[in-house]
Chains A and B, each alone.
Chain A
Amino acid sequence: MNIFKLSLKNLFHRPLSLTLSLLLFALGIGLISLMLNLNQQIQNQIDRNLAGIDLVVGAKGSPMQLVLSNMYHIDNPTGNISVEEATPFMRPGNPLIETAIPLSLGDNYNGFRIVGTTAEIVDLYQAEIDEGKVWEYDFEATIGAEVAQRLNIGLGHEFHGVHGLNKDDDMHVHDYMPPYVVKGILQPTGTVIDQLILVNTATVWMVHHDHDHSHDHEHGEEHDHDHSHSHEHEQDHHHDHDHNEEHQHEHNHSHDHEDNHHGHAHSHNDHHHAHGDDNGHVHGPGCGHHHEIGHSAEDRKGSNSIEFIMEHHGEDITALLLKYRGRNIQTLNLARQINQNTNMQAASPAIEINRLYDMMGSGIEIIQLLGWIIAIVSGISIFISLFQSLSGRKYELALIRVMGSSRSGIFSLIILEGIWIAFFGYAIGILLSKLAMFGVAGIIDSGFRYTIEAFSFVEGDAWLLVAALVIGLVAALIPAVIASGTDISKTLSEK
C-alpha cells in the first residue's frame, strides 16, 4: 500500500463523482479522437485515390459530383457524354493528354460498381494482377481485391449485374444477358480500384442497351421480346424504340449519329458469323441504333482499346479520367475550354477535393471544439470533486502525515487522483471513439464500399493523452496545494 495505490483506492471510494468525471472526460476525449481519426481516414482515402488524375470530364452538372462519382465511386454520375464529343480527348496523339481513361458506369453487383473501361485504369491505380488476367473479351471481369474478399468469389465466378449503382437502387437484374465471368483478381492497393468490377466498355454498352429495351417491355409495350434474339429482330426493335416516347432523348441521339453508326454496323456485320464460342452471343438491340460490338475473337479483344471506343461515335460513356503530359498554360486552359465550348464538363480533382476538405473541415472543427469544451468542463468537474472531497478527508490526510508522509506526499496523492481520472477518462474515451469508428466504418462500408480502419491510431491520439493528463494535473493542482498546505496539528485538534 503506497501513495500510488492509495490514490486509486481513494478514487474508487467515491464512485458517483468518479463516474460523472469519467463520463464527461471520456465523452470529450472520445469526440475529439473520433474527429481526428475520421478526418485522417477520409483524407487518406481521398489522397490515395487522387492517383495523379488531372481532370475529370463528364456530363454537365455539379463538378464535385462528377469527381465523387467517377474518381471515388460515391454519388451518382452527372449523366453521360457522347463518345463523339469525348473523342478529341481520347485520341492517343493529343499533345496535352498522356492518358485518357473512359469510364462507363451504370450497374453493380452486390453494391460493387461494374465499370466499363480500358486496361490503363489498372496502371493508373498501380494495381497488379494477383490471379488470372486483365479483362479482354466481352463479359470478362477483373475484380478488385476487396470485391473478391468481401463477396468471397474467385476466378471463374459467374454473376449478373444489377441495374443501378447501389445495392438496393433497383432490383432489376440483367439475368437475360450472359453472366460476367471473373477472369482476374487484382492485388489490394488501398485505392478505390479494390472495390471495382472492371469490364470492357462494350459489355456495359450491351447490357445497357438491353436494359433500356427490356424496360420498354416492363412498361407494357405490346410486343413479344425474345432475348435470344437474332439479328433479324433487331430491326423491329430498333423501330419500336424509335417511336418510344419514353426514350425521346435517345431517340434524338440516334438521329444525330445515324449515318455514322450504320457505317460501323456494316463493317462489323462482315464478321457476324465468326463468333460462337462460349462467350459468343448477340448483344441486345441498341437504343435507337444497334451496335455490332466485337464480332470475332480478335475484334472483341480489340473492344477493350480506346480506339475501339472512339470508333463508336454514337455511344455514350460516363466520364473520362485525364492525365496530362505536363502542366502548362494550355492544360490550365483546358478545363475552361471544355466547360465553355462543349456540352461536357471538366472538373479538377484538386480543386474539388479542396472544396470538400473545406466543407468537411469546418464540420469537423465544430465537433472537435465541442469535444474540447466537454473535456474542459470535465476538468472543472474533476476540480470540484477533488475540492469537495478535501473537507471530508481533512482528518485522514492529516493522519497520513502523522504516519510519516511529507507534504509533498499529500500533494502527489491529490495530483495522482486527478491524473488517474484523466487517464481512465482518456482510455474510455479512446475506446468509445474506436467503437464509434467501427460503427462509422460499417456505415461507410455499406453505403460506399470503402473500408475504413476502425482500430487504428493517429498521432493525434497520443497528443490527446498528453492533453488529457495536463487537464487532470491542472484540475488537481489547487486541491493538491490546499491539501498539502493544511496545518495537521490544527486539524487533529479539532474535535
Chain B
Amino acid sequence: MLLSTKDLSFEYPGSSEMVFPDLDCGSGETHLILGPSGSGKTTLLHLLGGLLKPKSGSIKVNEIDIGKLSGSEADKFRGQHIGLVFQQPHFVSSLNVEENLLLAQKLAGQPTSSGKITELLEQLGIAEKLKKKTSELSAGEKQRLSIARALINRPAVILADEPTSALDDDNCKNVINLLEDLAAQNGSALIVVTHDKRLMDYFSKKTLLN
C-alpha cells in the first residue's frame, strides 16, 4: 500500500475529537472521500499530507509514519512524496509558470529540469504558458498548473482538496481526467476529497464522511 491509515483521530483545541475511517490506497488507485462541509474532509487531507499531526493512530506513506516525523522532516517528506492540489490555486506570485515548478523541484530536493517541466505542461496542454505570470492564467489553466506542481516530483501520493468545485463542467471533467491519467501513469495513489457530486462516477473507491 502506498497509503494506509489506521485508527486515525484528530482534535482541534477546544472542540470535540474527530475519528476517521481507515483508508488504504495502492499504486494507481483512486479514492474519493465525500462529505458535507464541516465533516472534516480538509482536516483528513491535511493529516494525510503531514500538515497536521494526528491525535492518535498512524498514517503510513511508503511505509513511513508521517505523523511521527518532526516538523522539518515532515516538510521535506511532503515535498518529496506527496503532491497537493487545492481548491483555490495559489502560486508564488513573483515567479512565472516555469519558475514556480522549478521552485517545487528545488524545495523537494530534486534536480531542477526544464525538460521535465515542459513535458508535463505539454501533457496538461499549457506548455505555451511556460514564461507567463501565473496571474495571467485562466481558472482552468491555473488548476492545471497546480496539478503540474503537485505531480512534478512524481509523488507517491496525490492529495486533492476540492480540485474541481470552482470549475465549470467542461473544466471539471478535464481536470479530473488529467489527475486520474497522470496518477495512473506515475503509479501514484490519488485521493480526492470533495462535496462535488459530479465526481461520483469517476472513482473506484469511495468513502463517505459525516
Contact = CB atoms under 8 A, between A and B. Distances in A.
B106 interface: yes
A406 B106 contact: no
Nearest to A8: B94
A409 B94 CA distance: 17
A492 B94 CA distance: 19
A13 B93 contact: yes
A402 to B, nearest CB: 5
Contacts of A488: 51
A12 interface: yes
Contacts of B125: none
A400 interface: yes
B72 A406 contact: yes
Given A9-B99, A404-B107, A405-B75, A492 B80 contact: no
A231 interface: no
Interface string B38-67: 000010001001011000000000000000
B103 A403 contact: yes
Given A1-B112, A492-B46, A399 B75 contact: no
Contact of A489 (B46, B72, B106, B112): B46
Contacts of B87: 495
A408 B72 contact: yes
A402 B49 contact: yes
Interface residues of B, number: 33
Contacts of B80: 404
Contacts of A402: 49, 51, 78-79, 84
A362 interface: no
B107 A492 contact: no
Given A10-B94, A396-B90, A492-B46, A1 B106 contact: yes
A396 B52 CA distance: 18
A493 to B, nearest CB: 5
B93 A396 contact: yes
Contact of A403 (B51, B52, B99, B149): B149
A408 to B, nearest CB: 7
Contact of B102 (A1, A12, A13, A401): A1
A395 interface: yes
Nearest to B46: A489
A6 B52 contact: no
Given A10-B94, A13-B94, A404 B51 contact: no
A398 to B, nearest CB: 8
Contacts of A6: 92, 94-95, 103
B76 interface: yes
B109 interface: yes
B171 interface: no
B94 A406 contact: no
Contacts of B112: 1
Interface string B99-140: 100111111110010000000000000000000000000000
The 10 nearest A-B residue pairs measured at CB: A404-B79, A13-B94, A406-B72, A1-B102, A404-B107, A489-B51, A9-B94, A403-B107, A1-B103, A489-B46
Interface of A: 1-2, 6, 9-10, 12-13, 393, 395-396, 399-409, 488-489, 492-493, 495
